[in-house]
Structures are given as C-alpha cells and as structure tokens.
Amino acid sequence: MEKHMAVCPYCGTGCKLNLLVEGGKVVGAEPLNGVTNEGELCLKGYFGYDFINDTKILTPRLRNPMLRRSRDAAFEAVSWDEAIQYAAKKLGEIKAKYGPDSIMTTGSSRGTGNETNYVMQKFTRAVLGTNNVDNCARVCHGPSVAGLQVTLGNGAMSNSIPEIENTKCVLVFGYNVADSHPVIAKRIIRAKERGAKIIVCDPRKIETARLADLWLPLNNGSNMALVNAFANILINEGLYDKEYVANHTEGFDEYRKIVEKYTPEYAEAITGLPADDIREAMRIYAAAPSATILWGMGVTQWGQGVDVVKGLSGLALLTGNLGRPNVGVGPVRGQNNVQGSCDMGVLPTEFPGYQKVTDPEIRDKFAKAWGVPSLPGEIGYRLTDVPHLAETGKLKAMYVMGEDPAQTEPDLTQVRKGFEAMEFVIVQDIFMTKTAMFADLILPATSWGEHEGVFSAADRSFQRFTKAVDAKGDVKHDWEIISLLATAMGYPMHYNNTKEIWDELRGLCPIFYGATYEKMEGLGAVPWPCRDLDSPGSKYLYEGNVFQRPGGKGLLFATEWRPPQDKLNDEFPLILCTVREVGHYSCRSMTGNCAALQTLADEPGYVTINPKDAKALGIRDQELVWVSSRRGKVISRASVTDRTNKGAVYMTYQWWIGACNELTIHAVDPIAKTPEYKYAAVRVEAIADQVWAENYVQQEYAKLKGGLSKAVTGAAKKAPAYA
C-alpha cells in the first residue's frame, strides 16, 4: 500500500492526512500529526475520499472536454485542441465586441489549490483585461474580509487554530463549529476542560451551546443590536481596557455615541434576550485574561454582515484581546481553500497578497512582471452581481471554475435566468454539476488527490498537498487548462509545475515571500505574513498592537441595527435560515459521491422545525413537507426538534432536490455583496399523501441523476474520430 500526504479538501481547518492507495485507487485516509489537526480527522476527512474514484453515486466525473454548439444540442466530446481553440475564439469575439468587462471568471475555493487560483486571476487580468474575477468567499466570509480590513487592516483570523485551546474565554457568535469544523470543536472542548468560559450566541441549540457556560439564543436577525449592547456594557460598566483603547484605537468618541442607546434593556426588545444575560456575557468576556471571538456564517450571511464583523472586532479592541497569543478575532473559513482564493487575489478588488487593484504602483508592478503594457484599475464585478448583470446584458460570458452557483447562490430561479441570458459559458470542474448543465463548453480537470499544490488553512497557514493517484480520462490540471487558453488567446503562458507558479507569485507578494515549498515540506505549515526566507511566519497578527492601517491604530466602529430584508406575513410566517451539516460539503458534488456520507444522509434533506410549530401545522417528525417562499417551492423532510427555535426553520444548502436556495432571497450586504441566506420568509405545509410524496422525491431524484449522467455518457458515445 502506498501513502501520499495531503491536506483534507473539506473545511478550512487544514487537517493533514495520508491517502492510502492500492492498485492506483484511493482506498482509505489516515490522519497525520499536522499543525492544526494533531492526529485527528472528522467524518468527512476519514470517509470522504471515494469521490475521486468516480463512484457515480450522485453524478459522474468528467472525462473529456465537452462542447455544445447550440443550447438545444446535446454535449459532444471534443479534443482539447478543439475545446481550447473554440473557447479562445468565443472569448476573443466577445471581448472585441463588448469589451473585456463583459467577461467574468471565478477562482475555486476547493480542491484545486492556490497556484491555480493565481493563474486564473492572472489570466483574467492580463489576458482578458478585467478585474471581473471572484470566488465563493463572496457568499461566505466576504464580510469578514471587508470588515476586518477596515477596522484592523487584515481580513483573516488574527490568531492560529491551536491557540484556541489555550484561551480563557471563547465567544462563539453565529458559528456552528461542530458541523462546520469538527476538529476545531475539539479545541473548544479542550479549552473548556482547561477552565475557559464558553459563551455561545446562536438562535439554535447547536452542539457548542450544550457545553456553553452561557448560551444567548438571540432572535434571528438581531446580531448588530446584540453586538452594540455588548459594547455598551463594556463601556458603561467600565469593563474596557482604557489604556489599550487610548493607545491602540481610534474612533472611540463616535463609537461611544452610537452604542449609547443600545442598553441591555433596549437590546432585549430586539434580541429577545434577558438584559441580565447580555450583561453576564460581557462580564465573563471582559474578566478573562485572554479571550477569543470565533464566528461563522451566522455573522456574515446577512444584509448587515460587514457592520457586525466590525462590531465584533471592536469588542476585541475594547478589551485588548489582540496582538498576543491565545486571543483575537476568528472568522473561521468554511471551505478548505477559501482563505487561499482570497490570498491569491481571486477578488475583484485585489491582486494576490492583498494588493489593491486601485493602486497604480501595484498595477505597474504586476503589469511589468506579467509582460503587459497595463492592467485594469477599475474594481470588477462580484459573483452575486452576475444574474442581474447577465440579464441586463452587461455580462456576456462566464468562465466558472470549480464552483456550482446553480446550487449555492441565492434565489436559483434568477441564477438560471442569468446563465441562460449569457452568450458563452465555460464550466471547468471535476463533476457534471447543475451549473455544468448550463455550459456551452465543459473542461474536465484533475481532482484533489490527482494533483499537488498549496492550500491556505483558515488560520493563514500555507500547507502543501501531494498527488496520490493518476487521473483517469482525458483531463488536465486546472492551471494547465488556463495556460493553454491564455496561449491560444495570444498570451503565451507555460508552467512546468506548481512550484514554478508558487515561486512567481511569492516573488510578487511581500507577505508571502518567505513561504517557500521547502518550508512546507512534509507536515510543515507557514502562516503568512512571512516576509523573509528565514522567518517561520506569523502565528498571530498585530504584534505590538500595531494594526495594518494608516497610523497603526485599530478602528472602533458601530452603526445602527437594521432589520432583515425579507418580510414575514400570514402567507410566509416562518424564517428560513440556511445552515450546514457535518456529513456533506458545499454543493455536494464531492460528498454526494462518497458512499459513507451518502449512506448517512441523502435527498431531499431535512427542514428542522420546533415541535410547537410542527404541531400547529399538523406535521410529524420525518414526514415530507413543502417549503415555499416568494421565490420558489421545494420538498423536504421534517425533523421536529427542540433544538430549533420557534418561528424559524433550518435547511442545509447542499440538497439538489430539497434545494433551499430555490427559496432564499437575493438581498445583499451593501459593502461585501454577501447574500442574506440566513433570513427568508417561508411557509411550511404538510403533505397528506406521504406515499405519493416519497415516490415524488424518488422520481425527481432519479430524473436529476439520469440527466447529469446522460450528459456525460451521451457525449462519450458520440466521441469523434480523435478519441
């Protein structure tokens, strides 16, 4: 048996593991003693590898480039040469006719790695000539990056994952760590065992709430009011660190004025929390000698995400919980390499290494390095703008790599209309996805396990992963495909391996410069910033309480609470909040093809509902139900549980039949453009004929899987002479 070192492709914990290979097939995974996982793996880490082997449980791996010459035609397998020439010609025509800003690309925050993301944004900027490149941080921790960059100067976790277990207080805000990052959950459990106080702010009784010293089940959509009340208490009760605030922050007077009215009693009316519980939370937080705030999508997937992120960083600034070990602010990244795709500048605002596209000197540096006369200085489009831009004719072509927006974006009806309105869609993926069904050209890439590279863990640690098996079929590495396309469009691009790409990019990014492949050999992890070749990197940021802002001080920021945007009424009386579950990941194209994970949970997935709401609707546990919003209607299975608060229902976003994003609203944060996935007004209805409903699910599921499978097998059968 062979063993090949990898970094887990699920979640941002960055667990190191060995893939076990027999006869060219991955047959197992075993944990390694990596910096962040220390010999542990979770459900997905242990049992989430068999998708590589093309199990066809949900959808088949892509084996050939596939082209559809008109939208009503079936896909046909074509040669790489034809695929690349076709793509180059179409993109060239669209660019010439409508301008470079009529084309958009995506990076991938998943298995492809940092080098590919670097190459994709280079292609977008240097070859297409636009900053229209984005990644799914937009629908996830985009507000954390935008918010923290303003208040502290750096959008990432301030401290490292291992430090969590040494903090004396963990404030968990809108973050279901047990389902999102099980191996980080262990750090919190260990912190508790070592005497840390745990405070959990979440409307649901999540696993962490069970072990919390104080659980604040706030009303859905009241985050800003609670965070302001926290600041109010810290100031009014004199719990804040006056010296720290005086020396290391700015904006205190304005901040104080805004939070003045958010007394615990005032917040009680908005949050539904007893004023004394809100006080107690801040007394615990302020009393701890070291305290860490961790948050997730419960903070960011709101129309007011950026503001709340800024508010949370304010609590850390007020109490001096930054700039040293075992403290800080932690937006814990969900997808395995969403930190990396941001690091690599797959963002419409930034070059790799968080260098602004609006800065002419930075643009000149990259233009010179990339051998082009100039680079675009206008900020590009965001991923969530795409449906609207396509429908209004501003966006004509899209090159989607390793993402499935037709599953993961809000209000899927709009997303589909957007794709249909575009003239040319390229999807580069490892699986036939719902998004790939809208493509004109499908480019098949190698999977995690079939290539090597570097991922960034949630705590900024760069770690290398290696190849375990050879890819089957006529597929290529993502970065090779992009290079071929660039070359065909008149910009010669060639790399022999990922190290060449890595060395090019670290040469252009001062904060990554010292993170060499050699340092990341084996179990090595290098947290950026790592500016020098002899530096081990930075476990925590803001050493000496110097913030990466002009003047070096942290900004205290508060603003008024805004209510969520969708409106409840008699027709749609319940709040739908979309969440995650431990056994499935992202759009589910990977975990849906893993036998163990599909065995534990399959379509149509669950809508969890409080027993009181269920009883009023005549719904029993495990029955199929309809869930509808102003935007759509889907079938799901009721899970009646006291852990779900009354008045709200929760669905996980990876189901293809019970697809909650048919229901979600396209209402976004004004700054980060992140959608309000956490609040859609819905109605849940019982279905009288359960036998019919069970059959309906099976039929719809079979139809969906059949369609995806046929798209691939049909194209292979029609394979032309080259094959």
Partner 1 sequence: MNRFVTANPSKCIGCRTCEVACALAHSKGAGVEGLAPDSFKPRIRMVKTADVSTAVMCHHCEDAPCVNSCPNNAIVYRQHSVQVEQERCLGCKNCVLACPFGVMDVVTVPAVRQFAGMTLSLGVKAQAHKCDLCVDRESGPACVSVCPTSALTLMDRDAMDETLRRRRERAAQEAAEVAA
What single letter denotes the amino acid at residue 129?
G
Among 21, 43, 617, 686, binds partner 1 (CB under 8 A): 43
602 binds partner 1 (CB under 8 A): yes
CB closer to partner 1, 74 vs 595: 595
Backbone φ and ψ for 434, nearest 5 degrees, come out as -60, -35
Nearest approach in angstroms of CB 41 to partner 1 is 7
Nearest approach in angstroms of CB 556 to partner 1 is 35
Q: Which residues, including other chains, have CB under 8 Å from residue 383's CB and lie 6 or more apart? A: 106, 134, 135, 136, 138, 139, 405, 409, 673
Rg (CA), the chain: 24
Nearest approach in angstroms of CB 369 to partner 1 is 43
Nearest approach in angstroms of CB 139 to partner 1 is 24
CB closer to partner 1, 583 vs 592: 583
CA distance 651 to 635: 11
CA distance 512 to 527: 9
Give yes or no for a contact between 16 and 3, defined as CB atoms under 8 angstroms apart.
no
CB closer to partner 1, 495 vs 656: 656
723 binds partner 1 (CB under 8 A): no
635 to 694, contacts with partner 1 by CB under 8 A? 641-643
Q: Which residues, including other chains, have CB under 8 Å from residue 498's CB and lie 6 or more apart? A: 113, 115, 451, 452, 453, 454, 479
User: Which residues is 628 bridged to in the sheet?
Assistant: 633, 683
Nearest approach in angstroms of CB 89 to partner 1 is 42
Nearest approach in angstroms of CB 21 to partner 1 is 13
Nearest approach in angstroms of CB 343 to partner 1 is 27
CA distance 507 to 365: 11
Nearest approach in angstroms of CB 523 to partner 1 is 18
CB closer to partner 1, 207 vs 411: 207
356 to 385, contacts with partner 1 by CB under 8 A? none
Token pair in block for residue 617: 């609707």
What single letter denotes the amino acid at residue 693?
A
Nearest approach in angstroms of CB 188 to partner 1 is 9
CB closer to partner 1, 397 vs 582: 582
The CA distances from residue 54 to 443, 639, 656, in Å, are: 17, 31, 19
Q: Residue 172's closest CA among 204, 126, 125, 132?
A: 204
CA distance 453 to 325: 29
553 to 572, contacts with partner 1 by CB under 8 A? none
**Cα dihedral angle (494, 496, 502, 506), rounded to 10 degrees?**
-60
Where are any strands of DSSP class E within 177-298? 197-201, 214-216, 249-250, 292-295
291 to 330, contacts with partner 1 by CB under 8 A? none
Token pair in block for residue 149: 């960059």
Token pair in block for residue 300: 């960011």
CA distance 506 to 238: 45
Nearest approach in angstroms of CB 40 to partner 1 is 5
596 binds partner 1 (CB under 8 A): yes
CB closer to partner 1, 166 vs 487: 166
Q: Which stretch binds partner 1 (CB under 8 A): 428-436, 471-479, 588-596, 669-677?
A: 588-596
Q: In what helix (H) or strand (E) does residue 636 lie, and over which residues does it extend?
A: strand 633-640
28 binds partner 1 (CB under 8 A): yes
CB closer to partner 1, 43 vs 421: 43
Q: Residue 341's closest CA among 329, 330, 355, 353?
A: 353
**Cα dihedral angle (524, 529, 531, 534), rounded to 10 degrees?**
-30
SS (H, E, C) 438-475: HCCEEEEECCCCCCCEEEECCCCEEEEECCCCCCCCCC
Q: Which three-class secondary structure state does DSSP give residue 330?
A: strand
42 binds partner 1 (CB under 8 A): yes
Sheet containing 525-527: order of strands: 453-456, 461-465, 525-527
Nearest approach in angstroms of CB 180 to partner 1 is 11
600 binds partner 1 (CB under 8 A): yes
Give yes or no for a contact between 625 and 686, defined as CB atoms under 8 angstroms apart.
yes
CB closer to partner 1, 177 vs 556: 177
Nearest approach in angstroms of CB 45 to partner 1 is 8
CA distance 697 to 42: 30
CB closer to partner 1, 563 vs 611: 611
Among 3, 4, 55, 379, binds partner 1 (CB under 8 A): 55
Among 8, 17, 50, 363, binds partner 1 (CB under 8 A): 50
CB closer to partner 1, 51 vs 252: 51
Among 21, 46, 266, 421, binds partner 1 (CB under 8 A): 46
Nearest approach in angstroms of CB 167 to partner 1 is 17
Nearest approach in angstroms of CB 671 to partner 1 is 33
CB closer to partner 1, 180 vs 219: 180
Instruction: Decide the pairing of beta strands 249-250 and 214-216.
Output: unpaired
Q: Which stretch binds partner 1 (CB under 8 A): 39-47, 105-113, 234-242, 480-488?
A: 39-47
Q: Which stretch binds partner 1 (CB under 8 A): 162-170, 241-249, 529-537, 597-605?
A: 597-605
Among 33, 247, 392, 599, binds partner 1 (CB under 8 A): 599
Nearest approach in angstroms of CB 52 to partner 1 is 11
CB closer to partner 1, 43 vs 275: 43
CB closer to partner 1, 111 vs 583: 583
Among 298, 583, 592, 675, binds partner 1 (CB under 8 A): 583
Contacts within 8 Å (CB) and 24+ apart, 188-192: 188/164, 188/294, 190/165, 191/164, 191/165, 191/166, 191/167
Token pair in block for residue 436: 């790939």
Nearest approach in angstroms of CB 59 to partner 1 is 16
194 to 223, contacts with partner 1 by CB under 8 A? 205, 207, 210-211
Nearest approach in angstroms of CB 44 to partner 1 is 9
158 to 197, contacts with partner 1 by CB under 8 A? 178-179, 182-183, 185-186, 189
CB closer to partner 1, 188 vs 556: 188
Among 41, 218, 401, 468, binds partner 1 (CB under 8 A): 41
CA distance 253 to 259: 10
Total count of residues recorded for the chain: 723
CB closer to partner 1, 153 vs 604: 604
CA distance 208 to 216: 12
Total site size for partner 1, rule CB under 8 A = 35
477 to 506, contacts with partner 1 by CB under 8 A? none
Residues in touch with partner 1 (CB under 8 A): 27-28, 40-43, 46-47, 49-50, 53, 55, 178-179, 182-183, 185-186, 189, 205, 207, 210-211, 582-583, 594-596, 598-600, 602, 641-643
